[in-house]
Amino acid sequence: MAAEADDGEFAGYLRNRARDLLSNDYESGDASWVTGRFKNLNAVIGAYETYDDELFGNKAVFGLSLMVERKDDTVALRAAMKGLQSLEDALPYAQHKRVPRRNPGWHLRRDRRFRL
């Protein structure tokens, strides 16, 4: 498989999510997505807005978001964030927040479209 050779973790996530959709049990794919370190692509796939309908039973809306990492923009964002603490310290109030230092591979896990 081309996806397996290029990005094994992403391919594993896609396999887990496909199994999840067939079984209606999303734990495996969720775990793969949260812990995955995908190279160029990221996908959010699943049932959203689930609720019980008194007339027809359980309903869900399914969705897919496919995101591509733009390498040049990612490098530029990392460089811009290096000066973030000095910008915070220059603001005109006494209580300055401390900007946490993150390792270069850190990801925002709630919305992985923003990959730092």
Buried b (16+ CB within 10 A) or exposed e, 57-79: eeeeeeeeeebeeeeeeeeeeee
CA distance 38 to 9: 6
Report the alpha-carbon angle 33-2-69, nearest 5. 50
- Indicate if the pLDDT at residue 107 is higher than 60: no
Chain segment 12-59, per-residue pLDDT in tens: 999 999 999 899 888 889 999 999 889 889 998 987 776 777 777 777
Tell me if 38 sits within 8 A of 13, measured CB to CB.
yes
What is the 3-state composition of the chain as percent helix, strand, coil, each rounded to the nearest 5? 40, 25, 35
